[in-house]
Amino acid sequence: MPKEQGSIGAVLRVLREDERKVVELLMGAGGTMLQSDIARKTGFSRVKTHRILYRLSTRGIVTAKKYYNTYQISLAEWLR
């Protein structure tokens, strides 16, 4: 079964448009990006990016690890 039809496909179908944009960006980047880069590449403000990532992390879709003055955001292992 192609990955798009597996767990990642199911997740993408239930996400808001802005959340889907972030998850697709992470998928295209190999699963890990800095929060500051996500904000820059999506065009979202820092606050909006933080809120989106908070929602995704509370659902176990992404994890965040402190990285200097930003965070390293990674897709959850079960989505890779």
For residue 3, pLDDT over 90 is answered with no
- Residue 5 is predicted with a pLDDT of 58
Q: What is the pLDDT of residues 47-59, one digit of tens each?
A: 999 999 999 999 9
Residue 18 pLDDT: 98
pLDDT above 50 (res 1): no
| Number of structural domains the chain divides into | 1
Domain enclosing residue 31, as ranges: 3-79
CATH number at residue 51: 1.10.10.10
Cα→Cα distances 68→29, 33, 34, 65, 71, Å? 20, 13, 10, 10, 7
Cβ neighbors of 8 (< 8 A, separation 6 or more) are: 23, 27, 79
Kindly state the tokens that stand for 48: 């909006």
Q: Torsions phi, psi of 16, nearest 5?
A: -65, 160
Determine the pLDDT at residue 30. 96
Q: Can you tell me the mean pLDDT for 50-70?
A: 97
